[in-house]
Amino acid sequence: IKAVYGGDLCTYRDPERFYSYRRETPTGRFASLIWFNPKS
Protein backbone atom coordinates (compact mmCIF):
# COMPACT_ATOMS: atom_id res chain seq x y z
CA ILE A 1 0.00 0.00 0.00
CA LYS A 2 1.51 3.29 -1.08
CA ALA A 3 -1.24 5.76 -0.12
CA VAL A 4 -4.41 5.96 1.97
CA TYR A 5 -6.82 8.84 1.40
CA GLY A 6 -9.70 10.33 3.40
CA GLY A 7 -8.10 10.29 6.83
CA ASP A 8 -9.37 13.79 7.62
CA LEU A 9 -13.04 12.84 7.10
CA CYS A 10 -15.37 12.02 10.01
CA THR A 11 -18.41 9.78 9.48
CA TYR A 12 -19.91 10.94 12.78
CA ARG A 13 -19.69 14.69 12.15
CA ASP A 14 -20.76 14.69 8.47
CA PRO A 15 -24.29 13.18 8.30
CA GLU A 16 -24.95 14.61 4.83
CA ARG A 17 -22.04 12.66 3.37
CA PHE A 18 -21.85 9.54 5.55
CA TYR A 19 -24.06 7.15 7.47
CA SER A 20 -22.65 6.63 10.98
CA TYR A 21 -23.41 3.64 13.20
CA ARG A 22 -22.11 5.60 16.20
CA ARG A 23 -24.57 8.42 15.49
CA GLU A 24 -27.63 6.32 14.49
CA THR A 25 -27.54 3.30 16.85
CA PRO A 26 -29.05 0.67 16.85
CA THR A 27 -29.79 -0.29 13.23
CA GLY A 28 -28.10 -3.63 12.50
CA ARG A 29 -26.27 -2.34 9.39
CA PHE A 30 -22.60 -2.79 8.62
CA ALA A 31 -20.54 -2.18 5.49
CA SER A 32 -16.86 -2.24 4.60
CA LEU A 33 -14.84 -1.69 1.44
CA ILE A 34 -11.22 -2.50 0.70
CA TRP A 35 -9.78 -1.82 -2.75
CA PHE A 36 -6.49 -3.32 -3.86
CA ASN A 37 -4.97 -2.89 -7.33
CA PRO A 38 -2.29 -5.53 -7.86
CA LYS A 39 0.84 -4.61 -9.79
CA SER A 40 0.61 -5.44 -13.51
Query: Which tens digits make up the pLDDT trace of 2-39?
Result: 887 777 878 778 888 887 766 766 766 778 899 888 88
Q: Residue 7 sits in which domain range?
A: 1-29
**Given this model, what pLDDT does residue 25 score?**
67
Give the count of domains, the chain.
1
Say which amino acid occupies 28: G
**Given this model, what pLDDT does residue 10 score?**
80
Domain-located, residue 35: no
Domain-located, residue 3: yes
**Given this model, what pLDDT does residue 27 score?**
65
**Given this model, what pLDDT does residue 11 score?**
75
**Given this model, what pLDDT does residue 37 score?**
87
pTM score, whole prediction: 0.35
Q: Write the DSSP assignment of 10-26 as a string of letters.
A: -TTT-TTT---TTTS-S
CB 18 within 8 A of CB 11: yes
**Residue among 35, 34, 4, 29 at smallest CA distance from 20:** 29
CB 19 within 8 A of CB 11: yes
Domain-located, residue 19: yes
